[in-house]
Amino acid sequence: MSSHVERFAPSPTGSLHLGHAYSALMAHDAAIKAKGRFLLRIEDIDTTRSRAEFETALLDDLAWLGITWEEPVLRQSDRFDAYRAVLNQFRDRGLLYPCTCTRKQIAAAMSAPQEGTDRPPVYPGTCRGRSFDDPALARTDYALRLDMRKALASLGGAGVIRKVHFKEIGRGPKGEKGKISLDMAALIDTVGDIVLARKDVPASYHLSVVLDDAFQQVSHVTRGEDLFDATPIHRVLQALTGRPTPIYRHHRLIRDDAGRRLAKRDDARALATLRAEGRTPEDIRAMVMR
């Protein structure tokens, strides 16, 4: 069997829409063409918003589209110990620190970035250098932040930051393609000390997706171009953890008539709504692939 492995990783926090269908069909078609494997991962790490009924519905929608996947389906909720193990390694290496700064900013940093949302400001490092032995931590919630400067320094030697890159076979928002090298030093100023976990969520989107892709031996990541800017973060985490780097295929976004990116709240373009209106899987494929 081919070593080509694709995945689709929806969150069970709402209904799938045309944008999800496009990404899932593209990944599934690529796996079939390469005589490879197609995997499904349920990203239910947000236990407060994930619902069993949404998971049941998305599985039904995908099957209706004619998409098949290997069993068993991987769920992030079964991977919490794996996330904690890596966080403990980072802590032992001195790459993490506890942060008690505003919950609103932390919540924004925990989610997968999406087009049209305000990107959280680069964290100024208020809690950087704070000790895990601080007794105040026992009385308050806190997040775990990656000290980006220390993390990047750990990738090199003698003060030299190792160069890393990734391969893009789709396109970035500005048409980026091919071998893309990261400006590692710029990540300190443009990305900063990202949140990797918090007290009630065992891992951020960034950490969990890197560890899960490696665990599932994913060779190709197909996703929307709104996640292109997250790829440098994922590449750094791959380097820090010794995980392999998949090939990335970012694709255009499916938009509404006003040019806005589709969201789960857009019921008019939810697959369940379109199915109820009598649309067929062939209709959906024609709508998203044109």
CATH code of the domain containing 135: 3.40.50.620
Lowest mean pLDDT among 27-41, 111-125, 171-185, 191-205: 111-125
**Are 66 and 31 contained in the same domain?**
yes
Q: Residue 10: is its pLDDT beyond 80?
A: yes
Lowest mean pLDDT among 120-134, 208-222, 262-276: 262-276
What are the phi and psi torsion angles at 22 (to 5°)? -60, -50
Most confident region among 98-112, 158-172, 195-209 by mean pLDDT: 195-209
Q: What is the mean pLDDT of residues 87-106?
A: 88
Its pTM stands at 0.90
What are the phi and psi torsion angles at 5 (to 5°)? -130, 120
**Are 1 and 91 contained in the same domain?**
no
pLDDT band at 158 (very low <50, low <70, confident <90, very high): very low
**Are 65 and 158 contained in the same domain?**
no
**Are 100 and 236 contained in the same domain?**
yes
**Are 193 and 143 contained in the same domain?**
yes
pLDDT band at 2 (very low <50, low <70, confident <90, very high): confident
Q: Residue 268: is its pLDDT beyond 60?
A: no
**Are 90 and 213 contained in the same domain?**
yes
For all residues of the chain together, what is the average pLDDT?
89
- Give the residue numbers spanning the domain of 108: 79-251
Query: pLDDT (tens digit, 9 = 90+) per residue, 12-28?
Result: 999 999 999 999 999 99
The residue behind tokens 């925990």 is 110
**Are 149 and 193 contained in the same domain?**
yes
